[in-house]
């Protein structure tokens, strides 16, 4: 079941992936993917390229993928080792979700879009780093300055490769080797 679902998602990605996200299997392993997200322009992560590691369990989609940032990032919902607190990746995971037109399946693209949204709109109630959350709540300017500095320092490597990667529609990590 998982292989069939992952093959379908990989096929669908070619049609539905926004230009600021890329993803695909590493070394043709459908259970291990890499993703890249370009920092949203309306966030302190603007201009950054963030790499993520995605591991799908053997019983996917009945259990969520494990998604973590490889690129260091200063964010209240992402901890020092890249773990992300996003409801949909924990207790709230379900292989389907309800939208106004009825039930629909959750695909990795929706997860990546939610992570992009989290970069623009952190959720202090779901904090993984109390110090960053405190700064976010009490001194937004300093939080944003620190996030911009971390983005400049850690998320600007290989920008030319990322642009070519997105432009060519490639979904394999091989273009970064």
Q: Which CATH number is 135's domain given?
A: 3.10.110.10
Rama region for 24: left / alpha / beta (φ>0; ψ in -120 to 50; rest) = left
**Count of H helices and E strands in the chain?**
5, 6
Inside any domain, residue 124: yes
pLDDT of residue 163: 47
pLDDT of residue 61: 86
Annotated active-site residue in 54, 78, 115, 116: 116
Inside any domain, residue 172: no
Inside any domain, residue 24: yes
Average pLDDT over residues 88-108: 64
Inside any domain, residue 173: no
Neighbours of 68 (CB within 10 A): 15
Number of domains into which the chain is organized: 1
Average pLDDT over residues 57-83: 95
Is residue 79 predicted with pLDDT exceeding 50?
yes
Confirm whether 116 is a catalytic residue: yes
Of residues 62 and 39, the one with the higher pLDDT is 39
Inside any domain, residue 11: yes
Mean pLDDT of the chain: 84
Inside any domain, residue 139: yes
pLDDT of residue 174: 34
Outline where DSSP puts E strands in 1-83.
21-26, 29-38, 49-55, 66-69
Average pLDDT over residues 19-48: 95
At 25 the three-state DSSP class reads strand
Inside any domain, residue 170: no
Inside any domain, residue 177: no
Domain containing residue 150: 2-162
Total-model pTM = 0.82
């Amino acid at each position: 079941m998982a292989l069939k679902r992952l093959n379908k998602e990989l096929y669908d990605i070619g049609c539905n992936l926004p230009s600021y996200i890329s993803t695909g299997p590493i070394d043709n392993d459908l259970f291990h993917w890499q993703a890249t997200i370009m920092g949203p322009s309306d966030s302190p992560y603007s201009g950054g390229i963030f790499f993520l590691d995605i591991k799908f369990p053997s019983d996917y989609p009945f259990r969520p993928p494990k998604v973590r940032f490889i690129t260091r990032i200063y964010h209240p919902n992402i901890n020092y080792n890249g773990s992300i607190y996003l409801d949909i990746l924990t207790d709230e995971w379900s292989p389907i979700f309800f939208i106004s037109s009825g039930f629909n399946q959750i695909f990795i693209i929706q997860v990546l879009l939610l992570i992009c949204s989290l970069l623009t709109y952190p959720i202090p109630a779901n904090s993984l780093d109390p110090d960053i959350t405190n700064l976010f709540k009490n001194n937004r300017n300093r939080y944003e300055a620190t996030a911009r500095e971390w983005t400049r320092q850690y998320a600007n490597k290989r920008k030319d490769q990322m642009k070519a990667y997105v432009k060519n529609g490639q979904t394999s990590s091989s273009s970064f080797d």
